[in-house]
Amino acid sequence: MRFVDEYRDPEAALRFSKLIAEATTRPWTIMEVCGGQTHAIVKFGIDELLPPYITLVHGPGCPVCVTPIELIDKAVEIASQPGVVFCSFGDMLRVPGTESDLFTAKANGGDVRIVYSPLDALRIARENPDRQVVFFAVGFETTAPANAMAVAQARRSGVTNFSLLVSHVLVPPAIEAVLSSPGNRVQGFLAAGHVCTVMGFTEYEPLSERYGVPIVVTGFEPLDILQGVYLCVRQLEEGRAEVENQYVRSVRRDGNRPAQELIRDVFRVVRRQWRGIGEIPQSGLALTEAYADYDAETRFGVAGTRVEEPSECISGLILQGLRKPHECPAFGTRCTPEKPLGATMVSSEGACAAYYRYRRSEERP
Ligand code: SF4
């Protein structure tokens, strides 16, 4: 398959793994920020191709995993109301809230629909003018432009029965939270290529400089990740701390300017609660004043709720690179994809889901 097979070539992977081994003289800990990269690493056994003293730890870049529990509760509350069509990406449905999830709300009669784009939700709103249609807008900078476009289009075309339940989060503040946490052991980062396709990578340069860490913008195929690790190791070994771009086929330094403008028109930066991690300043997006009418929290009167997170799930530690999924006592026993205790077990980008699916135990030291 063109544009896939060439990035999964086993011989090229072995060549890269040899290069990495030759370049490495001491132990290094590198975090892949994005859950999509985590899945590729575990699925293709990329970590097993690395010298044993390179440790890859998994980062907070799974949007479903970090959606705060109170927003799941709000989603369930809104979805359970009569006259509402609640639209969401599929992997949000089984994410547990305090007492329920969207799947249960649907089983109990709520009109919860899986969509693949916010524009699908907008179409449903146009087709059902007598219903309130809500889209669960989760994601990092990658999904923000499409969500911004949906709400901008709704206003332009006079659709008033459409709103967003917004849970957008931003990558650079999350990297800073990892770096400034007292137990941090991450020495280099693989930054998420798709986020940088939208935002570019200038935001990472002050972080790299301030904390003295290499940050390599990296793609999602096995060879992308191996090359990203190689570039990161080379910097670490040479004592450099710069932002490098492995994903040149998609990422430009300044990113996609029209997409950034769209985000700025519709959203403003706010502090945001991250599931398992806590509140991170300036780490989320909310609708601007101009689009406040399209805010589902206000429209349905669910703003302001705060809930305690269950203590058994250690996903916050996993998302900060402090633990691995198999170190959770509930992994694969009390917590499975069918009966999850945390979002990282059900998200398609969740680290616990990746280990459960591809690797039940951890053989490497
Ligand atoms: S295995 Fe389950 S309970 Fe443990 S960290 Fe992962 S999601 Fe949470």
CA pair distance 8, 6, nearest whole angstrom: 6
Instruction: Give the integer Cα–Cα distance in Å for 285 and 272.
Output: 8
Percentages (nearest 5) of helix, strand, coil residues in the chain? 45, 20, 35
> What's the CA-to-centroid distance between 331 and ligand 1, angstroms?
6
Q: What is the pLDDT of residues 311-353, one digit of tens each?
A: 889 999 999 999 999 999 999 999 999 999 999 999 988 999 9
Q: Which two tokens stand for residue 218?
A: 């990296």
Å from CA of 243 to ligand 1 middle = 32
Which residues are near ligand 1 (CB < 6 Å)?
312-315, 318, 325, 328, 330-331, 335, 340-342, 344-345, 352
Which residue's CA is minimally distant from atom 7 of ligand 1?
342
Ligand 1 atom showing the smallest separation from residue 352 Cα: 6
> Is the per-residue pLDDT at 2 higher than 80?
no
Distance 295 CA to ligand 1 centre (A): 31
The DSSP-derived string for 113-137 is EE-SSHHHHHHHHHH-TTSEEEEEE
Decide if pLDDT at 158 tops 50.
Answer: yes
Helices (H), 220-279: 222-238, 257-266
Closest CA to 137 of 291, 33, 254: 291
pLDDT tens digits for range 8-22 = 788 889 999 999 999
Exposed / middle / buried, residue 12 (Cβ in 10 Å: 0-12, 13-18, 19+): middle
Q: Strands, E, within 172-288: which ranges?
A: 188-192, 215-218, 243-245, 267-274, 278-287
Distance 206 CA to ligand 1 centre (A): 33
* Interior/surface letters 204-233, b for 16+ CB within 10 angstroms, e for the rest: beebbeebebbbbbbbbbbbbbbbbbbbbb
Closest CA to 117 of 159, 152, 150: 150
The pTM of this model reads 0.92
Instruction: Pick the residue whose CA is nearest to atom 1 on ligand 1.
Output: 331
